[in-house]
Amino acid sequence: MKRILLALLLLIAPLPALAAPVQVVASPGGVTAWLVEDHANPLVAVSLLFRGGGAAADPADKAGLATVASGMLDEGAAEMDSRAFQDRLDALNVSMSFSAARDSFSGEMLTLSAHRAEAFALLRDALTRPRFDAEPLERMRAAFLTRLRRQQENPGSRASQALFAALFPQHPYGRPTAGTVEGISAVGAADLHAFARSRFTRDRLIVGVVGDISAAELAPLLDATFGGLPATSPLPPVAETAPALSGKTLTVEMPVPQAVAIFAQAGPGRADPDWLPFQVMMYVLGDGGFSSRLTAEVREKRGLAYGVDAGSLPLADAPLVAGSVGTQTAKIGESISIIRAEWEKMRAHGATAEEVEKAKSFLAGSLPLRLNSSPAIAGTLTALLYYRLPPDELDRRAAEIAAITPADVARVAAKWLTPDKLTFAVAGETAKMHLDAQ
């Protein structure tokens, strides 16, 4: 539920002090967090993440367990049932939410600094004493099942599911992150309690905090909030994998007026030394909106599609480059051919000096614009920790981008782009697609 007072404060507050240093705060009990102090506004934002606690660790017969858990943690904890817990959040103007990704499970909290002690206590109870009562469980299950059924009517969702199933057969990455109807239907309260005990552990915990709180004030709150979590707990390992890239175009039959294609190939991980020059290259190729070559060739010159894009998807065990395009069914084949051609052109020749400078200018300038609120900065801190990057990464980023040359971009394009492995999945009326023979 949206907390109106917090939303208004975020709208009228000046930007947090981006130059403020990142402090590494270690609690007496050994819980570590990164902190950026900002005493200009009476707000404290918390971002937390559990490495490896996401949907990839769900049992095959209960795909969607992490998703259900994400919707249930603020539906009652300790002595408070769902209504009482939500009423207390409202009374304190505390915003709290959770979400499940493939490789991680995350949470966010935003509170007025005057209420931070009780807000942290509510977060503690949500993580360590969740109730998972029958009524909210059935209500959330119905909501998630409705969302899944709607996704089955969406060509983009269907194409994405088909592509990942083909890229990662017999691997958790091949299952939908949001789960399946059968999996979510099978999740019970006992499964959710086991989920919380096994995935919310201190050895997997990452915490970022931004706002009106000092390191000395934060340290005891870290122990009070997270010290009761298990130190560790075994999880079934997610096997290392590589995408099965056939270079083909898969089809999903759907009676829809427009076709949607999702495509992917392998890419560098976030910690790879090629990451930044690769991002410059991808901005030129497909991640730069109206500045990208794919948009210029597919949309602007030929009017084939309203939108086309491509960018990095740094999965923990199989980093990808992924993109999408949607157009009239009869033109989807031509759009795919152009994307393949632009992929090959970039691989063979790289980008021009002008394109590289434009991409570098955007990438260097966009980061401060994204750090436009305390929650955004807190989320960035947990992302840096997740990818095991240093606290001064943001300070060094502009200089590192500035040092990238057209030769660097040409090198990573030649190394990483594989037009023959670029694999597509298209949802729509297959008989009308005019796809190239394969």
Beta strand pairing status for 258-266 and 423-428?
antiparallel
Residue 188 has what pLDDT? 97
Quick check: 107 pLDDT over 90? yes
Model pLDDT, residue 10: 40
Looking at residue 6, what is its pLDDT?
Answer: 44
- Cα 116 to Cα 107: distance, rounded to the nearest angstrom: 16
| Pairing verdict, β 43-51 and 104-112 | antiparallel
Convert the pLDDT of each residue in 310-364 to its tens digit.
Answer: 999 999 989 999 999 999 999 999 999 999 999 999 999 999 999 999 999 999 8
Q: What percent of the chain has pLDDT over 70?
A: 95
Mean pLDDT (whole number) for 172-199: 96
7-20 per-position pLDDT tens digit = 433 433 334 444 47
Question: How do residues 288-311 score in pLDDT, each as one tens digit?
Answer: 888 899 999 999 889 888 889 999
Alpha carbon 117 to its chain's center: 29
Separation CA 102–CA 160 (nearest Å): 14
Q: Looking at residue 434, what is its pLDDT?
A: 82
Is residue 2 scored above 70 in pLDDT?
no
DSSP secondary structure letters along 199-229: H--GGGEEEEEEES--HHHHHHHHHHHHTTS
Query: Which range, of 142-151, 235-244, 365-374, averages the lowest pLDDT?
Result: 365-374
Residue 14: per-residue pLDDT: 39
Residue 247 zone, left/alpha/beta (φ > 0; ψ -120 to 50; rest): left
Q: Which residue has the tokens 């005891």?
A: 220
405 CB neighbour count, 10 Å cutoff: 13
| SS3 of 24-52 | EEECCCCCEEEEEECCCCCEEEEEEEEEC
Per the prediction, the chain carries an average pLDDT of 92
C-alpha angle 324-330-336 in degrees, rounded to nearest 5 = 35
Q: Is 333 helix (H, G, I), strand (E, B) or coil?
A: helix
Q: Do domains 4-226 and 249-432 have the same CATH topology?
A: yes
Average pLDDT for residues 155-184, to the nearest whole number?
95
4-226 has which fold? Cytochrome Bc1 Complex; Chain A, domain 1 (3.30.830)
Q: Which are the contacts of 366, defined by CB distance < 8 A and separation ≥ 6?
A: none
Which residue's structure tokens are 């890419």?
Answer: 267
Report the pLDDT value the prediction gives residue 373, as an integer from 0 to 100: 87
pLDDT, tens digit, 9 for 90 and up, residues 415-438: 999 999 999 999 999 999 988 766
Question: What are 383-389's contacts with CB under 8 Å, separation 24+?
Answer: 384/34, 385/34, 385/49, 385/206, 385/208, 386/49, 386/51, 386/104, 386/206, 387/270, 387/271, 387/314, 388/271, 389/270, 389/271
What pLDDT, in 10s, does the model give residues 36-78?
Answer: 999 999 999 999 999 988 999 999 999 999 999 999 999 999 9
Q: Where are the domains of the chain?
A: 4-226, 249-432
Query: Residue 330 and residue 332: Cα distance in Å, rounded?
Result: 6
β pairing state of 32-37 and 205-211: parallel
The answer for residues whose C-beta is within 8 angstroms of residue 272's C-beta and 6 or more apart is 278, 319
Joined together, the tokens standing for residue 72 give: 């249930």
Given the candidates 3.40.1170.20, 3.30.830.10, 3.40.50.10860, 3.40.50.2000, the CATH classification of the domain at 249-432 is 3.30.830.10
Is the pLDDT assigned to residue 368 strictly greater than 90?
A: no
Q: What is the mean pLDDT of residues 367-380?
A: 85
